Structure formats: structure tokens, C-alpha cells
Amino acid sequence: MRKGSSAPARRGRISSTIIVGLALAAAGAGAEELLPARFGVTGPLALPGEPAARAMPRGQGGAPVAAAVPEDAGGPGLTAEFGPLGLPCGASLSAEAAPGGTARLRLEAPCQPGAAVTISHGALSVTFRASSSGVIDTVLPAFEDAARYSARLPDGELLTASALVPGASAYERVVTMWEGAGGLSVHAFEYGAGRGEAGHVWRGAPRGAQAAEAGRGGFLLALGTAEGAGARRAEVYSFPAAVAARAGAVRIALAAAVTPATCGGEIEAETLQLGEGLPGAPVAVRVTLPDCAAAAGDLMLKNLARDLKIAAQ
């Protein structure tokens, strides 16, 4: 068994801390060329040694590290060093800024095809299914300009990556998260839009980050690709409040699907609202769904999330 990141720091690994420290200082100034990549990872930057989470405690500010790769030490032997496609087994996570206050994340775990990987960012935590070649390529929101991400592999290994996403904190966010099936979906009604109209942003009409960059309004990310009981999913609605050209409001409703499978039962989820410099903490929500005699459809919860008040900038 490969030792996970939970193993205590050992002597001889201190140097990796220093390397990460150097990378912290140099990143953003062409650090990618300064440091040698290892394990053949093609990401912008790969660091050997202890997972960066150890060297760079969470909650501490810092310049971005594009990727960190844990040391492969303590592995079962040479047979585990290469995956089915002949790639070295070392897993890596990289993050880079993407439009709309998001980051593009790429996880490569050649020896863990199809693995369910939970990627976390602040209070957000979502499970993705790796491809048959062990790759996850996804976009996650960045709640801060200096955004840190971590990925937990099924074997317990923890990878971290950071990205500098200028302007990420200019977005108002409405987040719902849940485990397994069901959950709460976000419906945003921008500037008085009605259901099904152009300003109604939801999973069925998510718009895109480019629309937000162009000042056309918000967009929705439906996150999570893994199935099964423990798999976590999320929806994130982002609105560029700090650069909005028009004053008005975005009304937010959260919807729970009432189906023959869910009616009369309960659903559990978490909600989180971020923006305007106020710290947001996730709130666990349990909703009792209408009994099965009532018509199926969405149970719209209008007051569970606060509406966004937009001032013209």
C-alpha cells in the first residue's frame, strides 16, 4: 500500500518544503521554467516531495503553485510505477485561471483509471470520476483571487494546487452541495426574468463563464460526475456583481425535485452564499418534501437563499 499524506513528516523530506517555498516565491515570475518537472507530468509545474498541503498550510495567503506531486516513496514496488498506458504512476493536480472567476483543474492519476476523486476548494467539495486513462479535467469556481484546491484520491493521497484568478472575489456566489442523488438546484432569475425566459439561469440553461466576462449576467456550474452513495455534487451560480453595468436584483430560488422516488421523504443538502467580503459558512439544510399525493415537479424554495442586490458599477 502506498502511504497517504496522513503519514507524519519524516526526516529527509524537509528539502521538499524548501522547494515548495522557493516555488511560492518564484511562481508567477516564470517559475514554471525554473523548476524541473518530474514523473513526465506535462502540467505547467510539478514539484516533488511531500504534498504541498503540508508545506503550505491552508488558510494562509500565498502566491500560486501550479501543481504539486506527492513523492512516490513507500510504494509497493516497481510494478506500480507505470500505469496501463505506460505513463508513470505519480498523480498530479494542476490549476490555472479560467474565465468567469473560475479555475481549470486537471488531475492525472494514470494508475487509478475510473477513480472517484473528491476535489475541494474552501467549503466546496465535489466528487468526479476519472476517465479510463485516469484524467479529470474540469472547471471549478474560485472563491478567492488566490484559490487553493485539493484532491483526495481513493487511496487517501492528497494533492493540492493553486491558481491566481484575478477578479474571482468580484463574484457573488450561490452554492448548493449534496451527497448522492437528489439535492437542491439553483435557479437565478436575473433582472426580473420569469421562468424559462432569457434571464432564468439554471442547470437547464446554465449560460457560460464567457457571458459573465462580457457583462451579460451570471452563469451556473453543475459540478460532480461520480455516481453512488458517497459521491458529492454541487451547483454554483456566479454573478459578476462588482462589474455589473445595470442596477437591479437577481432573485434566487432553490429547487428540490419531487419525484415518485423522493416524494414524502427528506432531502439533505448544504447551502453557501459568498460575496461582498462577508465570510460565508455552509449551512446544512434538510427539507421535507410534499407527500406523494401532490403533483410531481419542483418544490421551489424562494427564501432559502438571499436575493442578490446589484448596484450599477
Partner 1 sequence: MRPTRSAAAMLAALLLLLLVPRALLAQDVTLTSRDGSFALDGTMLGFDGEFYRIDTVYGPLTVDAMGVTCTGSGCPDLEAYVAEVTISGAETMGAVLMPALLEAFAAGRGLKAAREIRDALGFTYTISDQEGRALARIDFRLTTTDEGFADLVAGEADLAMAAREVRPAELALAREAGIGALSAPAQSRIVAFDAYVAAVAPANHLPAISPEDLGRALAGVIADWGGLGGPEGEPLRLHAMEAAQGAQQGIEAALLAPSGQSLSPTAIRHGDAAELADAVAGDPFALGVTLASALGTARGLPLAGGCGFTVAPEDAAIRSEDYPLVAPLFLYAPARRLPAIARDFLAFLSTPTAERVIRRAGFTDLGARRVPLAAQGERLGKAILAAGDEVPLSALQEMVRALEGAERLSPTFRFRPGAAGLDAPSRGNAIHLSEALEAGVYDGRELIFAGFSDGEGGAAANLRISRTRAETVMNAVRALSETADFGRVRLSALAFGEALPMACDDSAWGRRVNRRVEVWIR
Residues that bind partner 1 (CB under 8 A): 191-192, 248-249, 251, 275-276, 278-281, 283-288, 301-304, 306-307, 309
Least CB distance from residue 269 to partner 1, whole Å? 10
Helix (H, G, I), strand (E, B) or coil at 213: helix
**Rounded distance between C-alpha atoms, residue 159 and residue 157, angstroms:** 7
The C-alpha cell at 130 is: 476519472
* Residues paired with residue 237 on neighbouring β-strands, in sequence order: 174, 220
Which is nearer to partner 1, 10 or 246 (by Cβ)?
246
Q: State the residue for C-alpha cell 427564501.
A: 303
Least CB distance from residue 59 to partner 1, whole Å? 14
Which is nearer to partner 1, 227 or 276 (by Cβ)?
276
Which is nearer to partner 1, 107 or 304 (by Cβ)?
304
Least CB distance from residue 144 to partner 1, whole Å? 17
Q: Is 196 left (phi over 0), alpha (psi -120 to 50) or beta?
A: left
What is the total residue count of the chain? 313
Least CB distance from residue 309 to partner 1, whole Å? 5
Least CB distance from residue 197 to partner 1, whole Å? 10
With contact defined as beta carbons under 8 Å apart, do 120 and 150 qualify?
yes
Least CB distance from residue 273 to partner 1, whole Å? 9
**Rounded distance between C-alpha atoms, residue 15 and residue 234, angstroms:** 38
Least CB distance from residue 313 to partner 1, whole Å? 16
| Beta-sheet pairing, 184-190 with 200-201 | antiparallel
Which is nearer to partner 1, 42 or 288 (by Cβ)?
288
Q: State the residue for C-alpha cell 503553485.
A: 65
Which is nearer to partner 1, 109 or 175 (by Cβ)?
175
Q: What is the DSSP letter of 9?
A: P
Residue 115: which of 147, 140, 139, 91 has the closest Cα? 91
Which is nearer to partner 1, 243 or 249 (by Cβ)?
249
The C-alpha cell at 283 is: 449551512
Which is nearer to partner 1, 91 or 310 (by Cβ)?
310
First to last CA, the chain: 55
